[in-house]
């Protein structure tokens, strides 16, 4: 076996973590713990809570897609952690602007089901987006490393 290829594969395993899951509200605590554990393995304790919140909200968005299957992926990049949720709906999402205060949000009952989570993601993440893929989309958020935690 080529040792260079083995080293590349081993490095990729350390740099990417991915889980295929099915959405259920009672599984969200498990998602938060999986994300927190991975962040700690990467030595990124300074953004654990942000990563947990972002992943939970991205995964929570799956409940609106019709198909409850999704893939949660974390990628350790040189400048940031990428948290991605791939689902099987072609309906693209919008990330609303974060509100400066709750009075700007309007009807909180409507917001509780539509938009609040992605607004939170936009507030906590250093970049957000959605890209169509074959048979679905990937909704992603970027969390830059705290200066003390840069790899």
Q: What is the pTM of this model?
A: 0.78
Specify the pLDDT at position 76: 95
More confident: 61 or 84: 84
Specify the pLDDT at position 107: 47
Residue 36 to residue 102: CA distance in whole angstroms: 28
Would you say residue 19 has pLDDT above 50? yes
Mean pLDDT of 123-132: 90
> By percentage, how much of the chain surpasses pLDDT 70?
74
DSSP count for the chain of H helices, then E strands = 5, 5
Reported as type and span, the H/E element at residue 121 is helix 116-124
More confident: 151 or 117: 117
Specify the pLDDT at position 116: 66
Q: What is the 3-state secondary structure (H, E, C) of 7-18?
A: HHHHHHHHHEEE
What separation in angstroms does the CA of 85 have from each of 106, 133, 146, 147?
A: 28, 12, 23, 26
Mean pLDDT of 4-22: 71
Mean pLDDT of 98-123: 58
Please, are residues 4 and 61 in contact by the beta-carbon 8 Å criterion? no
Please, are residues 76 and 51 in contact by the beta-carbon 8 Å criterion? no
């Amino acid at each position: 076996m080529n040792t260079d290829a083995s080293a590349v594969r081993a490095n990729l395993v350390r740099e990417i973590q991915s889980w295929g899951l099915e959405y259920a509200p009672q599984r969200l605590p498990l998602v938060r713990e999986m994300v927190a554990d991975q962040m700690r393995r990467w030595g990124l304790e300074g953004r654990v809570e942000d990563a947990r919140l972002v992943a939970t909200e991205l995964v929570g968005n799956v409940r609106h897609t019709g198909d409850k299957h999704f893939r949660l992926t974390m990628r350790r990049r040189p400048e940031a952690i990428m948290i991605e949720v791939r689902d099987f709906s072609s309906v693209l999402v919008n990330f609303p602007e974060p509100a400066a205060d709750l009075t700007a949000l309007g009807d909180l009952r409507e917001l509780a089901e539509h938009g609040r989570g992605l607004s939170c993601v936009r507030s906590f993440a250093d970049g957000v987006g959605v890209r169509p893929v074959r048979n679905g989309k990937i909704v992603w958020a970027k969390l830059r490393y705290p200066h003390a935690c840069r790899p």
